[in-house]
Every structure is written in C-alpha cells, then in structure tokens.
Structure 1
Amino acid sequence: MSTNDGTSRVVVGVDGSPASHAALRWALRHARRTGATVHAVGVYDLPGAEGWSAPAVDVLFDEEQARRSLSEELRAVLGPDDDVPLVHHVVRGNPARVLIDESDGAELLVVGSRGRGGFASLLLGSVSQQCAAHASCPVVIVRPETADGTPPAGDTP
C-alpha cells in the first residue's frame, strides 16, 4: 500500500484518451487529499501481440517516443503549479494485465471508463472490468468529464 518512503501509492492508467485524463485528474485530487504519490502508467499494447492476428513487430514501437508522449500528456493535465508527487513510466503489454500487476501494493488503481458498449465489451472485454475483477487493491473507474471539464455527478473523490 505504500512506496519506499512510506507514502501510499495511487496507480492510474494513462493512454491519451479523455477517459484516462479524467482518471488522472481524479487520482490527483485524491492524492492531494490523502498525501499519496500518483504512479501514472502509460501502457502500450502492440497490435497482434496476442490473439488471432499476425505476430507483433517490435520496430513499430518507439519506447522513447512513448515516454515523451506520456510526459507531455501529464504536463498538459497537471498544469505548471501542481505539487502532487508523481512518478510515471511506460510499459508494453496487455493494458489490463499490466495495470493489474501494477496494482500490487497500491492503495488504489484508477482507470477511465470507455463505455465501449455491450457487444464490443462482450467480445473484447473491458480493461476497467478486468481490473475491477482482478486487481489486488480497490479500483476506481472514472467516466470522462463533461464538456465544461467538471466530473460527472458522483465522481468527485
């Protein structure tokens, strides 16, 4: 439940989507209230890494570019004056599996809700559903923010 320095750790999955930005904002608000450190995880799944398609080609993935993109995304969401302790890293792999692994020892795992719909979710599964079922800590699933940037009713920590 805590980092090496004794503070609690809140893991948040960040993938560039509006839902993940809402999840990051939620995690930051929670961390401000509790003194936790936010661990932002950018997960990049290679097409064809699993399932029926062709094997993944490693040259398609530029890890340094992925790190830069995650850093830029975090800066855009955080703003210049945010003082919440934050660490981040990029991991290649199945998003649900990576986030479930990252949840080990965390206070919370925060993920965005995509609202993909019934049939697609039935076939593909949902990262948030898999995390809720298998993470080793409580999971908060955050819906995307409204057009004015405020959280939907009931989503404020």
Structure 2
Amino acid sequence: MSGVVVVGVDGSESSTSAVEAAAREARARGATLRVVHAFLWPSLHVPLGPSPVGPSEGGLRRLAEDLLTEAVQRATATAPDVRVEQALVTGEPLTVLEAQSRGAELVVVGSRGMGGFVGLLVGSTAVHLAAHGACPVLVVREQSAADGPVVLGVDGSPAADRAVDFAFAEAELRKAPLVALHAWTNWNAPLPAPQDASEPYANPPGALASEEERLLYEALAGHQERYPGVVVEHKVVRGGTREALIEASRSAQLMVVGSRGRGGFTGLLLGSVSQALLHHAHCPVAVVRATRPASGTGTGTGE
C-alpha cells in the first residue's frame, strides 16, 4: 500500500456517495482507505451510553460506531480489494478532518452533511477543507459522467502547478483523457508588451488570444512528458472562467482546480472560481492547494 485516502462520514446521503468515491480512489492508488467520523458529543459533556429507559444497545457512541460500520461495509462493497480502516475521533468535523489531511494523499467529503442548512448548496466542512486541507480535497457533488474526461482549470499562476500535477495523475489513474481549459477575457488577460511605443495600449489583432494560448501551453510544459499515456486536449475559451468551467463540468468525471488563481486577493485561502465550482459544478471537484503545511501524524483531533 502506498498511502492513505481519508473519507469523512456523518451518515448523510452525501457522505455515502463520498465513501463510494473514496473507495474507488483508494483502489486506483493502491492505498488504504480510512473512514473517519468526528465524534463531537464527548466535548459537549453529554451522556454517551444507553439511556436508563432505552434499549441496552442504544446511546450516542453506539450510533457513531454503527455509522462507521455501515460506511466500511459500503466501501468494501464498492472496492472489495481495498484495505479499509475506521477511526472514531473526538472533535468537531472541521478540526478532525483537517488534522487527518496531514497524513493523507487525498481527503474525500460529501458536498453537504447532516448539519447542512436548507438552501445551502455546499456544506461548511467542504469549503473549509478546500481552503485549509494539507492535501488535495475531493468534494463529491452530482453523479459524474463515468466515461467523461478529467477537466483541469488552468490560469497560468505558479500557485496552480500542484493542481496540474494532480490532474495529470488522476487522468492516468482513471485512464481518462484530460481537458486543460483556460478561459480569458479582455479584463483578466495580461497585456502583451506594446510593439509600438506611440500606441502603448494597442494590441495587434489576435494578440491577446495568442498570448492566452501560449500561457496554457507553458502551464502544461513538462507534465505531458511525465504522463505520456494521458491524452490532452488544450482548450482556450474567451469568456468567464467560472461559467466556462461549470459548463465543462456537465460532461466531466472530475474537475480539478487550484485553491486560488492569479486574480486572487491576498489573505483569501479559497478563490472565487474554486468556491463557485464547489457550489455549482455538475461533477466531483478536487481542490489542490499550492503548498502543503508541515507534516504531522494525521491522526490527531486538531492543531
């Protein structure tokens, strides 16, 4: 086994889908699957055992243990050859899963959990982990197109290089084509150097489009050589990035983006494009941060 894939479960339908997706990821990677439930109740100092007037097999701890058992059974049914372990960790979900991410290759969560508020399209746990997780975070949304491509959102920023690596690796694992998509407008495209000093703001016809195509090819440079079996389609679209990626997600089996792009504001850990995809994409979304914090044990309850 080469590593660990972590999946957070809470008994919701969304987390059940996450377990199945995580089992498939673990199988493809030859990794161990760790099914984790954040057990909040001990920190609230409430009784964990069965009620004096209830059945002997009742109680909050027993419910949590049963939830984990059911999730493990679902994972085993999805990928029988994957080694599965379970962990009941005291703490609230955000802290527990962030700590688990420090020793994992990938953390998988559903888009919404049992604590989701009506009207919200994606839960706070998913957004928080995408912004703070120490490894790539896969948020399972709608059922993906099984035979669709892996779609990579490319903006050319140095921060997105890990996302490019992750997308190529996923495409290879899934034996899927990779669509590298870069969207641009006159407002977000960097201006080429003027050719005529008398017209510092003028660009020859087609100059911006050519510059954006060059940006895409440079962002992918070297990756194709490392993954020669991955068929890559370069796609440059003139239009809004969020709209282009959401539309591309309709036929994708996975969307991959960095946590922040070249238009990000200092201090924000999750960019507007990543957030939009977590809320509106039509397939699972993997968010890959540019840097990985210092490693820890990955099995604690928080920092």
Q: Normalising by structure 1, what TM-score?
A: 0.72
Deviation at 1:73, TM superposition (A): 3.2
Distance in 2 between residues matched to 1:143 and 1:120, nearest whole Å: 13
Residue equivalent to 2:232: none
Out of 248, 252, 277, the residue aligned to residue 154 of structure 1 is 252
Residue equivalent to 1:44: 39
Q: What is the CA deviation profile of residues 80-134 of structure 1, one whole-angstrom value per residue up to 9, with x for unaligned ones?
A: 971211111112221011000011121011111019579768xxx7000111111
Residue equivalent to 2:45: 57
Q: Which runs of 5+ in 1 are unaligned?
A: 1-5, 50-55, 147-151
Contact persistence 2:26–2:33 (CA under 8 A):
yes
Q: Does 1:20 align with 2:25?
A: no
- Structure 1 residues 59 and 94, CA gap change in structure 2 (3 angstroms): same
Task: Flag the structure with larger Rg.
Answer: 2
Out of 67, 70, 74, the residue aligned to residue 69 of structure 1 is 67
Contact persistence 2:10–2:67 (CA under 8 A):
no
Distance in 2 between residues matched to 1:58 and 1:7, nearest whole Å: 39
Aligned Cα root-mean-square deviation (Å): 3.2
Deviation at 1:69, TM superposition (A): 2.8
- Structure 1 residues 33 and 139, CA gap change in structure 2 (3 angstroms): same
Distance in 2 between residues matched to 1:13 and 1:30, nearest whole Å: 14
Deviation at 1:78, TM superposition (A): 3.0
Out of 25, 32, 37, the residue aligned to residue 30 of structure 1 is 25
- How do residues 72-87 of structure 1 correspond to structure 2 at under 5 angstroms? 72-79=70-77, 82-87=80-85
- Structure 1 residues 145 and 17, CA gap change in structure 2 (3 angstroms): farther
Q: What is the CA deviation profile of residues 40-91 of structure 1, one whole-angstrom value per residue up to 9, with x for unaligned ones?
A: 10123339x6xxxxxx233046334422331123214532971211111112
Contact persistence 1:21–1:77 (CA under 8 A):
no
Out of 130, 133, 147, the residue aligned to residue 132 of structure 1 is 130
Distance in 2 between residues matched to 1:34 and 1:20, nearest whole Å: 21
Contact persistence 2:14–2:110 (CA under 8 A):
yes
Contact persistence 2:72–2:84 (CA under 8 A):
no
Q: Which amino acid aligns with 1:111?
A: V
- Structure 1 residues 63 and 144, CA gap change in structure 2 (3 angstroms): farther
Work out which structure has the larger RCO, using CA pairs closer than 8 Å and 6 or more positions apart in sequence: 1
Q: Normalising by structure 2, what TM-score?
A: 0.40
Distance in 2 between residues matched to 1:89 and 1:144, nearest whole Å: 27
- Structure 1 residues 117 and 71, CA gap change in structure 2 (3 angstroms): closer
